[in-house]
């Protein structure tokens, strides 16, 4: 998980998020099984409007695992606090609750939530505070010198996003081997997945 700076809230959300959040909350309160469909802004679904802003702040990488480049289905928007949970209906269209995510991270997380789950755009978040990278087996490990609370956050984040799934381990290994095979002058960091593993 690579840290990033949250961009400016898109105009559509600035103008309409309060109303849209209220509408979604009222809909779910009437029918708890109601499906989520993005509301439209100037006749365009708002997810299509805000997706470029979400992708720009991560340089087109997944907000969570930092996978790149996006594949078909890998440019979806994740609700960090699940929109299906009555506690979070009011955040369905809230800018700070929305993250671009790859298929792996979306499917791993689904509608789960934990107060321990780390946010990559938290101003206090850094990879090294919570994790260490094992360059031998390419797993993401809990930082053994982190505080107990930080270790709990790291463990829950690794678990919920399945960061050490075999497929993710192989992809990180492949990315690292490609990185070290290239001359330094030919390395452009944002062209690589899992940028947090590179020195």
State yes or no: pLDDT of 105 exceeds 90.
yes
Torsion of Cα atoms, 58 then 129 then 169 then 70, to 10°: -10
pTM: 0.93
Segment 108-134 mean pLDDT? 96
Per-residue model confidence as pLDDT tens digits over 177-193: 999 999 999 999 999 99
């Amino acid at each position: 998980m690579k840290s990033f700076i949250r961009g400016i809230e898109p105009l559509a959300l600035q103008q309409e998020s309060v109303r849209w959040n209220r509408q979604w909350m009222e809909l779910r309160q009437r029918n708890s099984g109601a499906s989520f469909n993005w509301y439209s802004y100037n006749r365009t679904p708002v997810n299509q409007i805000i997706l470029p802003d979400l992708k720009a702040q991560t340089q087109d990488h997944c907000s969570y695992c930092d996978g790149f480049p996006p594949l078909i289905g890998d440019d979806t928007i994740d609700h960090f606090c699940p929109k299906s949970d009555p506690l979070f209906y009011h955040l369905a269209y809230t800018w700070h609750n929305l993250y671009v995510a790859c298929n792996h991270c979306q499917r791993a997380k689904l509608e789960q939530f934990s107060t321990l789950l780390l946010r990559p755009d938290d101003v206090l978040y850094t990879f090294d505070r919570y994790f260490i990278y094992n360059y031998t087996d390419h797993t993401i490990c809990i930082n053994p010198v982190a505080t107990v609370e930080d270790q709990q956050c790291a463990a829950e984040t690794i678990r919920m996003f399945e960061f050490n799934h075999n497929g993710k381990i192989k992809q990180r290994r492949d990315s690292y081997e490609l990185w070290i095979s290239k001359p330094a002058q030919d390395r452009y960091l944002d062209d690589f997945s899992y940028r947090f593993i590179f020195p």
